[in-house]
Amino acid sequence: MAAGGTRAIGDDASEGQKHRLIYHHILPFKRYHEAHHENPRAYVGAPPLLGTFLVFLTSFIPFAMVAPIIANGVSVGMLAGYTLYMFIHYAIHFWEPPPGSLLYRARLRHAMHHYRDNRGNFGVSTSFWDRVFGTRIQRVMEHSLAS
Ligand SMILES: [Zn+2]
Ligand SMILES: [Zn+2]
């Protein structure tokens, strides 16, 4: 349980770099993601079973060789993080959160990725890894206020 929770937080935090690597460079994910960029409000994306299979392949199998209980915890954490990512991404595109809320800021950040420059703001729920890797795109208003 604790291992799963810890992994969920780590999975959530690194989602931006996965977005950049997997969705923008690796087929067939690149094709699904391009369809999302062309029509952000359409229900398109990688089939959930494909994502689940990849979690099993990258989380369960390597840890199962060490200890099955760790593999279970890591896999549950990864699936929880993946589910949270999908939920937040859906909410960003379809909900209208109140201005100033975390979801509102995430929505603005993701809109920059979609409509201004798809080479940045890869993180959906957090900008942490975009800040770490220098891929954060600031809003035009932030630039004008800073200068
Ligand atoms: Zn999107
Ligand atoms: Zn993208």
The rounded Å distance from CA 67 to ligand 2 centre is 35
**The pLDDT value given to residue 18:** 67
The rounded Å distance from CA 146 to ligand 1 centre is 27
Tally of domains in the chain: 1
Q: What is the pTM of this model?
A: 0.73
The rounded Å distance from CA 33 to ligand 2 centre is 6
The rounded Å distance from CA 71 to ligand 1 centre is 30
User: Up-side HSE of residue 108: CA atoms within 13 Å toward CB?
Assistant: 14
Closest CA to 135 of 145, 124, 146, 123: 123
Provide the residue type at 102 as one letter.
Answer: L
Please give the mean pLDDT across all residues of the chain.
80
**The pLDDT value given to residue 7:** 35
CA 126 – CA 13 distance, rounded (Å) = 7
User: Taking 60 as the threshold, does the pLDDT of residue 28 lie above it?
Assistant: yes
**The pLDDT value given to residue 69:** 95
CA 59 – CA 77 distance, rounded (Å) = 9
Domain that holds residue 14: 2-146
Question: Residue 116: nearest ligand to its CA?
Answer: 2
Question: Residue 32: nearest ligand to its CA?
Answer: 2
Inter-CA distances, 113 with 21, 51, 55, 82, 137, Å: 15, 22, 25, 19, 8
Per-residue tokens: 41: 């409000």
Average pLDDT over residues 72-86: 91
The rounded Å distance from CA 102 to ligand 2 centre is 20
Reported as a single tens digit per residue, the pLDDT across 119-129 is: 889 889 889 98
CA 118 – CA 99 distance, rounded (Å) = 24
Question: Residue 121: nearest ligand to its CA?
Answer: 2
Question: Residue 120: nearest ligand to its CA?
Answer: 2
User: Taking 70 as the threshold, does the pLDDT of residue 147 lie above it?
Assistant: no
CA 138 – CA 131 distance, rounded (Å) = 10
